[in-house]
Amino acid sequence: MARAGASGKTTQKPASTKPGKSANGIAAGLEKLGLRRPLDFALHLPLRYEDQTRITLLSDAPAAGPALFAVRVRAVTVAFRPKRQLLVQVEDVSGRANCRFLNFYGSQTKQFERARDEGLILHVWGDLRSGYLGPELVHPTISKPTDETSTAAPSEALTPQYPTTAGVSQAQLRQRIGKVLKDLQLSETLPRNPHTQHLPKLTAALQFLHAPPPAVDVGALNTRSHPAWQRICLEELVAQQLSLRKARLARRQKGAPGLRGNGSLTNALIKRLPFALTRAQQHAYGEICADMNEHYPMQRLLQGDVGSGKTIVAALATCQAIEAGYQVGFMAPTELLAEQHYNKLIEWLAPLGIKVAWLSGSQKKADRTAHLLAAASDAQLIVGTHALIEDTVDFSKLGLVIIDEQHRFGVAQRLALRQKGNNPHQLMMSATPIPRTLAMSYFADLDCSVIDELPPGRTPIRTRLIADTRREEVIAAIRNAIAAGEQCYWVCPLIEESETLELQTAIDTHALLCEALPDYRVGLIHGRLKADEKATTMRAFADGDVQLLVATTVIEVGVDVPNASLMVIEHAERFGLAQLHQLRGRVGRGQRESTCILMFGQPLSPTAKERLRVIFENTDGFAIAQADLQLRGPGELIGKRQSGVPMLRYADLERNADLIPAAQQIADQMLREADQTRADLTDIHMDRWFGHAEGFLRT
């Protein structure tokens, strides 16, 4: 009623549709929605649908969700308590309700008054709830029926609800999209094959989804199980597969130094190791070695469970690059882990005459300057944290970048390291397995090597669940273990709400354990310590001078002290599955039988109970990741934001998992059939779906 929309319908919504908002506002809004080409409007599909094909009586309002009512206005009041608001009392044959508007304009009040005086019918769309003054609708959408004296339903089709932004109303979107649809005739880019022939054609699917007839089940539309939606999701997944394949082809066009080593360093390293490589490690290194020999940049992910021995494989790749006369940058996400890698790599590589440099955020100025100089000249391996990607860092001849715990970094950071060289080879490492559907889509341009066995001689970790009321027994177990020459971790509870509280708990626990174990040395490590303090404590623990290490989750990734064989995790129910698995992986690294005690507080929530059950029953990281996926849903696993692949708007990797293999086959077929002489369908297809999203980064 506030304004007459072109469709004859009007909408009252606060703020977003202020009258007099300039056409500029709309243009900016449409731009923000990525709606430029007519095609973009056609592909801007509804989030959900509202059924305005039926009028509901006020007395029959659904318990939850909106409905459409046809009412007359009884009274219009502007109330001032507690806040200025417009109250419109309405009625139909079944009863009465109040419409409440907290934001409103004088003109709206006038129009409601006119409707009251003339006894006109209004359509009110909203959620009817019980309020302070009886049933009420807060900020319902009001529209004027074509025939203001009849209670007939306003729509013959379901009403689409589009994703929108400030300045663009649903009515405006509907109108513009409707105009585009009138003479929409899109060519078919997908081949007709067994995957597509039972689905509607693209144009038909779009026509249908923008204006579904009333007989259609709103549920099937809203859950996107309808064949028209399937067609859209398949189209989008094919576009994604095409973009991944093209990225791969483009990568192959880029020149990279072929890092063919002569084996002098790799063989010397293997000879000096106190252990033999596992078959899986040899296999993984073989794949990496072959990639590095190529003249286009490697992009490989080395996956292997916690403790499977990824670092030595990375060290072999390092040796190969150095043999070929190139530098290696090795980046880890935390100072603790980076420092540990630095020490390990020095131990392995310095005896071979390899010059190693170190860069970290907490380094002293003079030290840093010296290492920066080395990186820019004769250092062969540069290890560090994010400090490696700062502007001041120059490499003289970077040929390989290694990124440990790659999921802890964003795309931009990985790219920044790569840009320090001229298309260097890239090796990423992770103990967090990528679920199959993600691997097939967002990560499809990564080659994967898997270390699927642990080094021999490891005795499996025993996991025990103990209520925290038995803390004294747990402390006694620690005392016995230390007396027998073992070392232990005590992991303090995660307190998500307060870092200060978490720190305080760690300090208190440390004090308590010092008192309980007066004959032994108890160390404390947490995120607030200075880097050199952390390093000193870790060294003392690694050297066996400290027998019990009280820690926060700073020790979660990568920490490797093989003599540690007992771990206590306090309030284990507060940790996520991946985190518990990583933490537990800090023990079981040596010959000794290791134990992980999960202390839990009661009562346990059902999901906490389920998590503890999973971690108790499983030691395999892949099985745990799978269970995690089921418990948490895919969204949280492996931040999608870190992928450089355009986001999917409609397809969902879990819901549409069965469409992914089809999309892969179709993409392959399209590339095979791509014809140089006519317009390439793959380009048309990709431009259709991703043309609006420019300049995205690639992994």
Task: Choose the contact partner of 621 out of Mg ion, ligand ADP, none; CB within 5 to 8 A by kind.
Answer: none
312 binds, among ligand ADP, Mg ion, none (CB under 5 to 8 A by kind): ligand ADP
The count of chain residues that interact with ligand ADP, using the rule CB under 6 A, is 17
- The stretch near ligand ADP (CB under 6 A) out of 218-226, 307-315, 382-390, 518-526 is 307-315
Nearer to ligand ADP, 226 or 458 (CB): 458
| Shortest spacing between CB 280 and ligand ADP, in angstroms | 9
Does residue 29 touch Mg ion according to CB under 5 A?
Answer: no
Q: Which of 135, 410, 562, 634 binds ligand ADP (CB under 6 A)?
A: 562
* 27, 36, 249, 275: which one binds ligand ADP (CB under 6 A): 275
**Of residues 52, 141, 143, 308, which one binds ligand ADP by CB under 6 A?**
308
User: Which CB atom, from 9 or from 586, has the smaller least distance to Mg ion?
Assistant: 586
The residue range among 76-84, 270-278, 511-519, 681-689 that interacts with ligand ADP, by the rule CB under 6 A, is 270-278
Enumerate residues 551-580 that contact Mg ion by CB under 5 A.
558
Q: Judged by CB under 6 A, which of 26, 216, 277, 671 binds ligand ADP?
A: 277
Gyration radius from the chain CA atoms:
32
CB of 452 to Mg ion, least distance (A): 16
Cα(43)–Cα(686) distance, integer angstroms: 13
Q: Which helix (H) or strand (E) holds 400?
A: strand 398-403
Rounded to a whole number of angstroms, the minimum distance from the CB of residue 166 to ligand ADP is: 48
Q: What is the largest CA-CA distance in the chain?
A: 97
Closest to 51 (Cα-Cα) out of 65, 32, 63, 41: 65
Q: Which residues, 564 to 603, sit near ligand ADP by CB under 6 A?
A: 589
The C-alpha atoms of residue 90 and residue 95 are separated, in whole angstroms, by: 9
Least spacing, CB of residue 345 vs ligand ADP, in Å = 11
SS3 content of the chain, % helix, strand, coil (to 5): 40, 15, 40
To ligand ADP, the closest distance from the beta carbon of 339 in angstroms equals 14
d(CA 526, CA 556): 11
What is the nearest approach in angstroms of Mg ion to the Cβ of residue 634? 25
Q: How many residues bind Mg ion (CB under 5 A)?
A: 1
State in angstroms the smallest separation of the CB of 575 from ligand ADP: 18
- The region of 182-190, 247-255, 303-311, 619-627 touching ligand ADP under the rule CB under 6 A is 303-311
Q: Which is nearer to ligand ADP, 541 or 600 (CB)?
A: 541
CA distances from 539 to 315, 343, 351, 561 (A): 22, 10, 21, 10
Cα–Cα dist 124/403, whole Å: 57
By the rule CB under 6 A, 307 interacts with ligand ADP: yes
- Please report whether residue 560 would count as binding ligand ADP according to CB under 6 A: yes
Of the pair 73, 446, the CB lying nearest ligand ADP is at: 446
What residue 537 binds from Mg ion, ligand ADP, none (CB within 5 to 8 A, per partner kind)?
Answer: none
As a dihedral over the C-alpha atoms of residue 335, residue 337, residue 340, residue 342, rounded to 10 degrees, the angle is -70
Contact 381, 354 (CB under 8 A): yes
- Per-residue tokens: 390: 């700062």
564-569 and 487-491 as β-strands: parallel, antiparallel, unpaired? parallel
| 278 binds ligand ADP, rule: CB under 6 A | yes
Q: How far is the CB of 563 from Mg ion (least distance, A)?
A: 18
Which 427-466 positions form the footprint of ligand ADP (CB under 6 A)?
431, 455
CA angle (678 as vertex; 672, 683 as ends), nearest 5: 65
Under 8 Å CB-to-CB from 145, ≥6 apart: which residues?
70, 121, 122, 123, 151, 152, 154
Beta carbon nearer to ligand ADP, 127 or 560:
560
Name the phi and psi angles at 313, rounded to 5: -65, -40
Cβ at position 313, least distance to ligand ADP in Å: 8
Residue 594 CB, nearest approach to ligand ADP (Å)? 13
559 near ligand ADP (CB under 6 A):
no
Query: In this chain, which stretch among 34-42, 114-122, 272-280, 508-516 interacts with ligand ADP, using CB under 6 A?
Result: 272-280
- CB under 5 to 8 A by kind: which of Mg ion, ligand ADP, none does 662 bind? none
35 binds, among Mg ion, ligand ADP, none (CB under 5 to 8 A by kind): none
CB of 429 to Mg ion, least distance (A): 7
Q: Are 490 and 549 in contact (CB under 8 A)?
A: yes
309 binds, among Mg ion, ligand ADP, none (CB under 5 to 8 A by kind): ligand ADP
Q: Pick the binder of ligand ADP from 209, 284, 306, 393 (CB under 6 A).
A: 306
Q: Does 310 bind ligand ADP (CB under 6 A)?
A: yes
Which one of the spans 196-204, 216-224, 550-558, 622-630 is the region binding Mg ion (CB under 5 A)? 550-558
C-alpha torsion 634→640→644→648, nearest 10: 60
* Tokens matching residue 583: 């933490």
If the CB atoms of residues 154 and 558 are measured against Mg ion, the closer one turns out to be: 558
Residue of 477, 485, 555, 563 whose CA lies nearest to 513: 477
> How many other CB atoms are there within 10 angstroms of residue 480's CB atom?
11
Starting at the edge strand found earlier in the chain, the sheet holding 487-491 runs 462-467, 595-600, 564-569, 487-491, 548-551, 522-525
Complete DSSP assignment for 242-308:
HHHHHHHHHHHHS--------SHHHHHHHHH-SSPPPHHHHHHHHHHHHHHHSSS--EEEEEE-TTS
User: Please, how many CA atoms are within 13 Å of residue 699, restricted to the half-sphere of its CB?
Assistant: 28
- Rounded Cα distance between 400 and 421, Å, is 8
Rounded least distance, CB 125 to ligand ADP, Å: 57
Answer yes or no: are the C-beta atoms of 197 and 177 closer than 8 Å.
no
Select 33 or 338, whichever has its Cβ closest to Mg ion. 338
Query: Which segment (41-49, 192-200, 302-310, 636-644) binds ligand ADP by CB under 6 A?
Result: 302-310
**Least distance CB 174 / Mg ion (angstroms):** 54
- Which residue number is nearest to Mg ion in terms of Cβ? 558
Q: In terms of DSSP bridges, do strands 48-50 and 159-161 run parallel, antiparallel, or are they unpaired? A: antiparallel
Q: Which is nearer to ligand ADP, 184 or 280 (CB)?
A: 280
Q: How far apart are CA 43 and CA 557, in angstroms?
A: 43
d(CA 697, CA 411): 7
Q: How far is the CB of 560 from ligand ADP (least distance, A)?
A: 4
For ligand ADP, the binding residue among 140, 309, 384, 523 (CB under 6 A) is 309
Residue with tokens 């790599």: 345
Q: Report if residue 652 touches ligand ADP, rule: CB under 6 A.
A: no
Q: Closest CB to ligand ADP among 25 and 455?
A: 455
Q: Which of residues 88 and 555 has its CB atom nearest to Mg ion in the complex? A: 555
Letter for the amino acid at 215? A
Are 613 and 623 in contact by the 8 Å Cβ rule? The answer is no
Sign, CA dihedral 122-128-130-132, equals: negative
Query: 3-state secondary structure string, 506-531?
Result: HHHHHHHHHHHCCCCCEEEECCCCCH
Query: Which of 35, 158, 209, 312 contacts ligand ADP by CB under 6 A?
Result: 312
**Residue ranges in contact with Mg ion by CB under 5 A:** 558
**Residue ranges in contact with ligand ADP by CB under 6 A:** 275, 277-278, 281, 304, 306-312, 431, 455, 560, 562, 589
